[in-house]
Chain A
Amino acid sequence: GQQVMQIPQYQHVQEGEDFTTYCNSSTTLSNIQWYKQRPGGHPVFLIQLVKSGEVKKQKRLTFQFGEAKKNSSLHITATQTTDVGTYFCAIRANDYKLSFGAGTTVTVRA
């Protein structure tokens, strides 16, 4: 089935620094969703990207959908301890099925 590669698997960040996580697909995507899962918690929806080249911002988080709609990125500026968790991208494999990437687990050094 349709799959998405998510890199890096782990990201250790100094508080206050920026980092980026990426999702890459070999096929053109109709859209892509991003979720955050805090340690011990459940995934929570962050955003959905639909249009080619789309950029959306949520405070310190910037989401981008590639021009070819085959990749997406999440960039976090000035990382805080509240950013700790695992960030997943999810793609639509068919009309009703969402497939998730393996996630990027973020830890923050104070």
Chain B
Amino acid sequence: DGGITQSPKYLFRKEGQNVTLSCEQNLNHDAMYWYRQDPGQGLRLIYYSQIVNDFQKGDIAEGYSVSREKKESFPLTVTSAQKNPTAFYLCASSVLAGGHTGELFFGEGSRLTVL
């Protein structure tokens, strides 16, 4: 079945460590996104990419990095520079219709806890 796969589902990290969250999609979507969700809050955009080898910062990019070497993959690295990394991370993808974003399809999320 087509969809978006995020891994790991749960991740624990010590302070000062970098961690990479995986996001893979087989929907043949051009655009991919990373959002962060904190308890009781909405989704805040970290990075997005509409084409391979290109990506843009979202609203809260500091302390994060991404790559888009393949159309189907958009991994997110949470670096030690991110001051408050404990959160629920959601990856999404969409088609680009007429140069605009369509509906977002989300993965099941990765819950990161920094100990």
Q: CA separation between A56 and B3, bound complex, in Å?
A: 27
B101 & A103 in contact (Cβ 8 Å cutoff): no
> CB distance B99 to A100 under 8 Å?
no
Check if A100 sits within 8 Å of B40, measured CB to CB: no
Q: List the 9 closest A-B pairs by CB distance, nearest first.
A: A45-B103, A102-B42, A42-B106, A100-B43, A100-B42, A96-B50, A103-B42, A43-B106, A95-B100
A102 to B44, CA, bound (A): 9
- Show the binding face of B for A, using Cβ within 8 Å: 31, 33, 35, 40-45, 48, 50, 56, 58-59, 90, 96, 99-109
Q: Is the CB of B45 within 8 A of A44?
A: no
Contact status B48-A44, CB under 8 Å: no
Closest-by-CB residue of A relative to B111 is: A40
Question: Chain B: interface secondary structure?
Answer: strand
Q: Is A78 in contact with chain B by the CB < 8 A criterion?
A: no
Contacts of A90 in B (CB 8 A): 104
CA distance A52 to B6 in the complex (A): 37
Q: Indicate with 1 or 0, residue by residue over A35-56, a CB within 8 angstroms of chain B CB atoms.
A: 1000001111100100000000
A33 cross-chain contacts in B, Cβ below 8 A: 103-104
Whether the pair B104, A105 counts as a contact (CB closer than 8 A) is no
